[in-house]
Amino acid sequence: MACTSESETPSVSNLEEKRSRLCDEFAAVAGTDSAVAQCYLAENDWEMERALNSFFEADMERVFDVEDLPEKATTPKAKRQKVEETAPGDCIDLTADSPAATRKPSEDDDGKLSMITWNVDGLDTDNIVERARGLCSYLVLYTPDVVFLQELIPPYVQYLKKRAVSYLMIEGGEEAYFSGMLLKKSRITFVESEIVAFPTTQMMRNLLVAQVIFKGQKLCLMTSHFESCKAHAAERMKQLRVVMQRMKEAPDDVTVVFGGDTNLRDTEVAKVGLPATVCDVWERLGKQEHCRYTWDTKANSNKTVPFVSRCRFDRIYHRPAIKDGVLHLAPDHMALVGLEKLDCGRYTSDHWGIYCTFSVE
């Protein structure tokens, strides 16, 4: 995104062009129109981050039934924290309201690590409760061990905490919008988490990292929502470099999995390059066409846009443990989820989610 303040004194035409660009970028991130964007930017001296914070804080909790939400947790704002599981109390677990949730996995499935990564578009408040419940229905159907989520807002998180109590929620932020993880309590042992800042982001983006144990195997799980909009390729590539460096430097007895909404274009990935030990899971599994496009305005009608855009924004990267004597997990399956319309006539998100499994080589 453009600089957050006008440190120089541009000409009138340059100033108009810059502010017009800021409005377009604000509208793209916040899912609003340019008139609303102009209002918030003008009120915040055309500083993007201040304007976005103001927008997201404005009556955010109105989109959910506030009386149905637990009180906001008072977790310390430590960069690195250990999380204790809390008792579900009177929570209603929507991940256990279907026969599918009680089925015993086969012996083959039991040894596999399963995950979903999904930008759930919490910034779109239309039908958001129905769409959040739709997410829970996919948790029932797929019973993933790990769920990476992007574009969460605080009320959405509270909804999931109350209705998906078989999962531990790890949050990558507390205000505006952020990424998060859900970890299946019966399958994943949580150790600790860390929020890694992206120093030059203008869209409040960061990297959420969790250290966990699965079947005795150490895993490093990462999720992020990289900088949006075509104009911000340079910042996106910086963020990709941070992720790749973390994956490359992880201990050799740890399996590393990253999943998230990267907003990457293939040309940008090519410029950065992936370490020899890291693979793009979609490419490793044969570049299957049916799960190429995760942002597809041709098939997904949640966003009304005057053009067709089909992009592979959501990606999964994998670096296996390389130490002798350690189990080596390898990707073996990938599919898109969220392709069915909900009863409200909309999809769970404007992005398709990715379901992926890993097995022992």
Tell me which residues are annotated as active site: 261
In angstroms, the Cα distances linking 17 to 41, 122, 192, 207 are: 14, 30, 45, 32
331: tokens are 């990707």
Angular region, 170: left φ>0, alpha ψ -120 to 50, beta rest: beta
Q: Are 317 and 278 in contact (CB under 8 A)?
A: yes
Question: What residues contact residue 247 under an 8 Å CB cut-off, 6+ apart?
Answer: 220, 222, 256, 258, 275, 277, 278, 317, 319
CA–CA gap between residue 334 and residue 187 (Å, rounded): 20
336 phi/psi in degrees, rounded to 5:
-90, 145
Judged on CB neighbours under 10 Å (0-12, 13-18, 19+), 94 is: buried
Burial status of residue 343 (CB atoms within 10 A of its CB: 0-12, 13-18, 19 or more): exposed
Residue 258 DSSP symbol: E
Residue whose structure tokens are 């204790």: 84
Strand, coil or helix: 305:
coil
**Helix or strand run (H / E) with residue 101:** helix 99-102
Pairing type for strands 146-152 and 113-119 reads: parallel
Residue whose tokens read 């274009």: 265
359 within 8 A of 329, measured Cβ to Cβ: yes
Instruction: Record the tokens describing residue 5, joined without a space.
Output: 């303040």
**Residue 248: both structure tokens together:** 């490359």
User: Beta-carbon neighbour count of residue 109 at 10 Å?
Assistant: 13
Whole-angstrom distance, CA of residue 86 vs CA of residue 190: 13
